[in-house]
Structure 1
Amino acid sequence: MRVIVVWAVSTLTMLVLAAVLPDFRLQSADGDSATRIGLTAASGAGAFGLLGALVWPLLVRALLLVPAFVLGLLVFVLNGSLLLLALSLIPHGQSAAEPETAVVVAAVMSAASSATSTFLTVRDDEAYRRRLARMAGRRRRGQGLPAGRRPPPGTVFLQLDGVGHDVLRDALSGERPLMETLAGWHGTTHTLTPWRTDWSSQTGASQLGILHGSNADVPAFRWYEKESGELLVSNRPTSAAELQRRAIARTGDGGLLTVDGASRGNLFTGGAEQLALVLSVAARRGRHNRSRSGYFAYFSDPANATRTAVSFLAEVFREISQALRARLRRERPRLRRGGLYPFIRAFATVVERDVVVAAVIGDILSGRTAVYADLVAYDEVAHHSGPRSRDTHQVLRRLDRCVALIAKVTEHAPRDYRIVLLSDHGQSPGEHFTGRFGLTLEDLVRAGCGLPVSRRAERTPSGAEARATARTALRRPERDGAGRRASEPVVLASGNLGLVSFPEVPGRMTREEIDARHPALLRTLTDHPGMGFLLVHSAVHGPVVLGPDGAEHHLETGTVLGISPLAAFGPGAVEAVRRTAGFANVPDIMINSVCDPDTGAVHAFEDQIGSHGGLGGPQSHPFLLWPSELSPPTPDGRPLVGAEQVHTVLRRWLGEADGPQVPADDSPLTTQATAPFTALSQVVQDEKR
């Protein structure tokens, strides 16, 4: 009956489209009777449905290695092609459609049939019970569990990328909280706990530590390695694969998700076998590459592509309107948000979100033991709109609905689930360095080295002052070998963290060598008003932190000259910098921008008004929102510091589920599967809208 109803709806949809679209017809040029037109529509809808069921999955599987954005566009072309093929199979050849019209007709029909099928299935308790019974039976057979005995609870880790502890706390407070679902959990079933990142407060370092237990030798989001002469960037597939390989070699362990785990939308696998949108395996080719399996699972239903495409376009127009509103209101700080950015934002906040949420729901219904998924929407928008803007408030509301949908699904899974929410870092506000001072970090470094800078930098007060300082210092001859030209520096940025390396000098340059080659550089940097502190290595004192007015902090001995440059960055700053100073990949100079102690504002060295990557402000304070039934993250409420400690906590929580399997009081296939699904249906329909 469900098939007949869906077929009838598809037939009516085709008749309506034939009536309103001039380039789509279901009758011959001489005209046909209403009965003949109806039979033609029914034949076309049936053929299109069969092709979609039989041919469509094969087509999407064949295109699995195509980039996701291209695949999303190809979905509509392929769907339209299937419709044209279906029309050509109708006897008498009286139906026809232009190719561009076929794309529209196919998209509307897919959406209508999918909505009808979902509406019927969600309200069919018996159908849902049968599906759940099949999944639960497979899980029992796979785990050797006898019937009537439930497996231990599974765990879903949902990472809300970039959401700081303070941002979440405020989103859960008030009479009408931004995140109503999480607000209902907070203080009842879940407990909110902050934790402190390492110096490198960014996804690469944090997620590597969380999933693989080690983020040593990861000083920033991107850095230059002198030994290999390569630039490593955390969000490049080859770099992510190398970082994961190093972490596994260091720990001797596959990761957090090695036991029946799934990794969704992450930079790293965590040792999981089930992968979707995982960057560290995206560069692989061949049948062993399953990084895009999430796209296949999602786009195997053409209606998903239609729904996501509509949301994608809506998000593009939303970003354009929000950027225009910010410009008309002359908001400060503000970035230019044109070019491809509206499409990049829409991909992160719509396509990636939909695919990841769908994959997590599939994992839950399959009874997976551990799932770790990253939702990146907030982080992407906060970079360009600010961490506490109206734009990010809308994103938080949508993320809350995603969590609500996932929570509803867990109620009907073949095992109990605990949902742990966490973030990898926060975001600090503030005008970016170039917007505030009129020159880039690279311009400032080059000026301090006495090298040519851009004309724009020459005309700024900061640039002129830096060049004057350099000219004064360079009256002394540089001791740089037999008249050899000083090396061109490699200057990189990671939020408000800057990295300077001199490739021609093997090994890490000491402070004394830097002063000998570039006498003005360190003074130029420390005296600049946008600089908080510098980390260099002294041949005499070891790692040294330099600040304005000649301030120094010797990390090995604890000696401080003047006021410690790290004092303004709060507790834990000394330990974080000292740990990073021991990494093998530390550049010759590491720079952290200044931080306003009252507002937490920093100056990113990238074009961002919400940033993370270094120390200062909310960026170093992410959160854990964990079920209160679990053991506390740390004993006696001591601070939780570093991504590696978070890994230890999450491992302990997974272990707490591995107790003796207790008999279920009631069969989940009779009590849960026959429960009314009105609430779940409402959440699904809200998310579709």
Structure 2
Amino acid sequence: MRLRLPPWRAVGSTVLRVLAVWAVSTVTMLLLAGGLPDFRLQSPSGDSATRIAVTAAFGAGAFGVLSALVWPVLVRALLLVPALVLGLLVFFLNGSLLWIALRVTPDRGDVNAETAVVVAAVMSAASSATSTFLAVRDDGAYRRRLARLAGRRRRREGTAGPMDESPGVIFLQLDGVGYDVLREAIEGEQPLMPTVAALRGSTHRLTRWRTDWSSQTGASQLGILHGSNEDVPAFRWYEKETGVVMVSNRPSGAAELQRRAVERTGRYGLLETDGASRGNLFSGGARQLALVLSVSARRGRETRSRAGYFAYFSDPANATRTAVSYVADVFREVGQSVRARLRRESPRVPRGGLYPFLRAFVTVVQRDVVVAAVIGDVLGGRAAVYADLVAYDEVAHHSGPRGRDTRQVLRSLDRAVRMIVKATDHAPRPYRVVLLSDHGQSTGETFAGAFGLTLEDLVRAGCGLPVPRRAGRTPSGAEARQAARAALHRPEEPRRAGLLGRRRRSPDRPPRGTGPVVLASGNLALVSFPDVPGRMSREAIDARHPALLRALADHPGIGFLLVRSEEHGPVVIGAGACEHRLDTGEVTGDRDPLACFGPGAVAAVRRTAGFPHAADIMVNSSVDPATGEVHAFEEQIGSHGGLGGEQNQAFLLSPLRLSAPVVSGELVGAEQVHRVLRRWLREARGGAAPVRHARAVTEPQDGDGLAATQQRVG
């Protein structure tokens, strides 16, 4: 049991830390004044060294006070300003505070606007680093800070009382990182992700789980957080009864999917008991929210998903560091894109326009805010936290799952995991840290790049309709674009990204009688006929467009079609008149069109066939059995959303102190993962579960005590 410091010791420790930070800031200001020609701390006639030092001390103190008092107010006011604009304002605001600080000192220094920006940024970084250095090594300071955080939060929520000492659970989702990619990143003498490798080698077990047919974040995370992803056939789909294109990563779409899941299960979600949701599409029933898409369009104290920005940017050093990293990542993406073009890398997709800025948003801003929010939850003793880090998924879409660009992102994700794991050392309760992914990524040339036409071209040709000369394409960074728009509190983007081909007059409500609606979700596509109510049968499609199904099924870039037959029920159609009748299991022709898509494909397709909003024709691209390559119907060389390749293999890295995910067999589907995570939360609330199949800890402790931390979070 830790002893509580006397009040006078606590006050003395705080005073010493403040003095240390003040001294470092003063020295930093003196060094900058000596090195920058446009920054001085003395009068034109000259001053003694003592007077210059006093001026620096007053200036540093005034700057610290202004930063502590004024900066949080400015950030709260600027939450109405788009986040990216706020990032650009960081330098100006910080420089302004320094200029004011110098104005109020007895012997005023002098600095021009440009130099003030530089000086303020360096001083903020120095003071923040000093404060963090001292606090991390002062357990008493951490305990007092934790007590204040926990007490303040619980008073605000009306739950003030003794801290529950049962273990908390952190679920950290590494979006899009497949099972095989993770194994490659943590194996070898010098693993790409050393922190995750150390966990795997000591306190955690690695489990593979297989996704549903709709292998994308919307379906997987809805099932994981809310226990049901029923009737989510794809990332985007057309609902005939309303004429609306439903999209998983739009605020309105995410809110509706969450509402339906709660209504179906009768529960708020995985995080309904003292939970926090960070950077997710859905809330999971949590009351503590930051960057949660399903509530981003709402107003009110319970749904302020952008509050995470205030918590993070309240520290000017955080704002400065993130802004610098953001600019650096923009230039990094531009350089990587240029290098790929010069090397004539193939496959390759366009990466220009706004994509570098959108990529930097998810790889820097979103990552930093989410990690800071999770650390805050840990330090505050939150019982359950689920956070999504989306950087790898976005970069892999455009650079490939195993490109040089994605390797850099995996390294940054490992550092994020390390920060969170080490934060548990200073938490008021022990923690179980669970890493997982929602799907993997399959690589391959796009459908249009491989065959010279889009899927909509092929569908329209099969229907006997004119094919436009110039087919539209999904803009680069479509997922990052939606995440950024939600974070910026901007209106939803007109729905054209998922519609392959021509723009429509009203994208959210495609007009009737204009031909089929073709929507893409990675290497899965959905074809609907808006003027035919209900699901159109195979017989009706053949009568209306006799050549369509055969033209699609026999195309080399298409693996199979799912349609509904009036005679046989749901039927999978492949090339060469091969069929698999799902109700009876009967296969006609010389092969099973689902055979090359691996075990579980039949069950996954059969389940989706029963969804009310399954499209008239569900189209899955072909897969190369040897390489696992697929053809995305979007502008993505790393894709997910359907069946084929590594996209269907996700991972679950769980502590040995929690019960095994499955006793035997395979972990299948997001809904089953939800049941496993809910069981682990019950075990944590009820005390530590029996250790099963535990292994000896063989990893040596490193210099900063990571191995000891692993024991604590295991």
Q: Shorter-chain TM-score: what band?
A: 0.7 to 0.9
Paired with 1:164 and 1:640, the residues of 2 have a C-alpha distance of 15
Contact conserved, 1:487 with 1:502, CA < 8 A, in 2?
A: no
Q: CA-to-partner distance for each residue in 1:431-486, whole Å, 9 max, x for gaps?
A: 1111111111122112222222233689xxxxxxxxxxxxxxxxxxxxxxxxxx96
Matched, 1:311 2:346: no
Give the equivalent residue in structure 2 for 1:511.
Answer: 538
Query: By how many angstroms is 1:515 displaced?
Result: 2.0
Query: By how many angstroms is 1:528 displaced?
Result: 1.1
Q: CA-to-partner distance for each residue in 1:561-582, whole Å, 9 max, x for gaps?
A: 2122111111111111111111
Q: CA-to-partner distance for each residue in 1:568-607, whole Å, 9 max, x for gaps?
A: 1111111111111111111211110000111110000111
Q: Which one of the candidate residues 631, 645, 649 is aligned to 2:676?
A: 649
Structure-1-length-normalised TM-score: 0.87
Paired with 1:425 and 1:66, the residues of 2 have a C-alpha distance of 34
Contact conserved, 1:489 with 1:501, CA < 8 A, in 2?
A: yes
Q: Once superposed, what is the RMSD of the aligned Cα atoms?
A: 2.8
Secondary structure of 1:506's counterpart equals: coil
Contact conserved, 1:438 with 1:456, CA < 8 A, in 2?
A: no
Give the equivalent residue in structure 2 for 1:74.
Answer: 89
User: Letter of the aligned partner of 2:465 in structure 1?
Assistant: L
Give the equivalent residue in structure 2 for 1:500.
Answer: 527
Q: Which one of the candidate residues 587, 602, 605 is aligned to 2:630?
A: 602
Q: Which one of the candidate residues 624, 627, 630 is aligned to 2:652?
A: 624
Paired with 1:3 and 1:64, the residues of 2 have a C-alpha distance of 29
Give matches, 1:225-374, under 5 Å: 225-374=239-388
Change (3 A) 1:640 1:107: same
Paired with 1:620 and 1:322, the residues of 2 have a C-alpha distance of 28
Query: By how many angstroms is 1:681 displaced?
Result: 11
Q: Which one of the candidate residues 435, 441, 453 is aligned to 2:455?
A: 441
Secondary structure of 1:574's counterpart equals: helix
User: Letter of the aligned partner of 1:154 in structure 2?
Assistant: G
Contact conserved, 1:552 with 1:564, CA < 8 A, in 2?
A: yes
Secondary structure of 1:373's counterpart equals: strand
Q: CA-to-partner distance for each residue in 1:183-202, whole Å, 9 max, x for gaps?
A: 22225321111111110000
Paired with 1:616 and 1:140, the residues of 2 have a C-alpha distance of 47
Secondary structure of 2:519's counterpart equals: strand
Secondary structure of 1:151's counterpart equals: coil
Q: Which one of the candidate residues 404, 407, 432 is aligned to 2:446?
A: 432
Paired with 2:522 and 2:288, the residues of 1 have a C-alpha distance of 32
Give the equivalent residue in structure 2 for 1:529.
Answer: 556
Give the equivalent residue in structure 1 for 2:475.
Answer: none
Query: By how many angstroms is 1:13 displaced?
Result: 2.8
Change (3 A) 1:363 1:21: same
Paired with 2:375 and 2:264, the residues of 1 have a C-alpha distance of 33
Query: By how many angstroms is 1:44 displaced?
Result: 2.5
Query: By how many angstroms is 1:176 displaced?
Result: 1.9
Secondary structure of 2:534's counterpart equals: coil
Paired with 1:295 and 1:683, the residues of 2 have a C-alpha distance of 32
Query: By how many angstroms is 1:70 displaced?
Result: 2.2
User: Letter of the aligned partner of 2:195 in structure 1?
Assistant: T
Contact conserved, 2:25 with 2:123, CA < 8 A, in 1?
A: yes
Give the equivalent residue in structure 2 for 1:10.
Answer: 25
Give the equivalent residue in structure 1 for 2:481.
Answer: none
Change (3 A) 1:539 1:140: closer
Secondary structure of 2:79's counterpart equals: coil
Query: Which structure 2 segments of 5+ residues have no match?
Result: 1-15, 473-511, 690-700, 710-714
Q: CA-to-partner distance for each residue in 1:372-416, whole Å, 9 max, x for gaps?
A: 111112111111111122222222222222222222221221111
Give matches, 1:664-679, under 5 Å: 679=704
Change (3 A) 1:450 1:262: same
User: Letter of the aligned partner of 1:679 in structure 2?
Assistant: D
Q: CA-to-partner distance for each residue in 1:256-313, whole Å, 9 max, x for gaps?
A: 0011111111111100111111111111134443211211111110001111222223
Give the equivalent residue in structure 1 for 2:407.
Answer: 393
Contact conserved, 2:30 with 2:56, CA < 8 A, in 1?
A: yes
Contact conserved, 2:90 with 2:323, CA < 8 A, in 1?
A: no
Structure-2-length-normalised TM-score: 0.84
Change (3 A) 1:412 1:383: same
Query: By how many angstroms is 1:371 displaced?
Result: 0.7
Query: By how many angstroms is 1:642 displaced?
Result: 0.7
Contact conserved, 1:409 with 1:680, CA < 8 A, in 2?
A: no
Contact conserved, 1:237 with 1:280, CA < 8 A, in 2?
A: yes
Query: By how many angstroms is 1:638 displaced?
Result: 1.1
Query: By how many angstroms is 1:158 displaced?
Result: 0.8
Matched, 1:548 2:563: no
Q: CA-to-partner distance for each residue in 1:222-268, whole Å, 9 max, x for gaps?
A: 11111111111111111111111111011110000011111111111
Give matches, 1:1-80, under 5 Å: 1-28=16-43, 34-80=49-95
Give the equivalent residue in structure 2 for 1:478.
Answer: none
- Count residues in correspondence: 642
Paired with 2:422 and 2:677, the residues of 1 have a C-alpha distance of 23
User: Letter of the aligned partner of 1:658 in structure 2?
Assistant: R
Paired with 2:391 and 2:152, the residues of 1 have a C-alpha distance of 34
Query: By how many angstroms is 1:660 displaced?
Result: 5.9
Query: By how many angstroms is 1:130 displaced?
Result: 3.1
User: Letter of the aligned partner of 1:492 in structure 2?
Assistant: L
Paired with 2:126 and 2:440, the residues of 1 have a C-alpha distance of 41
Give the equivalent residue in structure 2 for 1:113.
Answer: 127
Contact conserved, 1:543 with 1:554, CA < 8 A, in 2?
A: yes
Change (3 A) 1:25 1:295: same
Contact conserved, 1:257 with 1:371, CA < 8 A, in 2?
A: yes
Contact conserved, 2:21 with 2:131, CA < 8 A, in 1?
A: yes
Contact conserved, 1:160 with 1:375, CA < 8 A, in 2?
A: yes
Paired with 1:225 and 1:276, the residues of 2 have a C-alpha distance of 30
Paired with 1:536 and 1:681, the residues of 2 have a C-alpha distance of 53
Q: CA-to-partner distance for each residue in 1:337-394, whole Å, 9 max, x for gaps?
A: 2222222222222221111111111111111111111111211111111112222222
46-55 vs 416-425, which moves further: 46-55
Paired with 2:30 and 2:202, the residues of 1 have a C-alpha distance of 53
Give the equivalent residue in structure 2 for 1:582.
Answer: 610
Contact conserved, 2:151 with 2:160, CA < 8 A, in 1?
A: no
Paired with 2:57 and 2:154, the residues of 1 have a C-alpha distance of 42
Query: By how many angstroms is 1:429 displaced?
Result: 0.9
Query: By how many angstroms is 1:73 displaced?
Result: 2.0
Query: By how many angstroms is 1:24 displaced?
Result: 4.0
Change (3 A) 1:65 1:218: farther
Contact conserved, 1:151 with 1:661, CA < 8 A, in 2?
A: no
Give the equivalent residue in structure 1 for 2:199.
Answer: 185
Paired with 1:42 and 1:682, the residues of 2 have a C-alpha distance of 41
Matched, 1:572 2:600: yes
Paired with 2:61 and 2:152, the residues of 1 have a C-alpha distance of 32
Q: CA-to-partner distance for each residue in 1:63-116, whole Å, 9 max, x for gaps?
A: 224332222223223222322333333457x44444343333322221121112
Matched, 1:611 2:639: yes
Query: By how many angstroms is 1:206 displaced?
Result: 0.1
Query: Which structure 1 segments of 5+ residues have no match?
Result: 459-484, 663-675, 685-689
Secondary structure of 2:659's counterpart equals: coil
Paired with 2:302 and 2:209, the residues of 1 have a C-alpha distance of 36
Paired with 1:146 and 1:574, the residues of 2 have a C-alpha distance of 51
442-451 vs 354-363, which moves further: 442-451
Query: By how many angstroms is 1:173 displaced?
Result: 1.8
Secondary structure of 2:668's counterpart equals: coil
Secondary structure of 2:684's counterpart equals: coil
Query: By how many angstroms is 1:52 displaced?
Result: 1.1
Query: By how many angstroms is 1:37 displaced?
Result: 4.0
Query: By how many angstroms is 1:626 displaced?
Result: 1.0
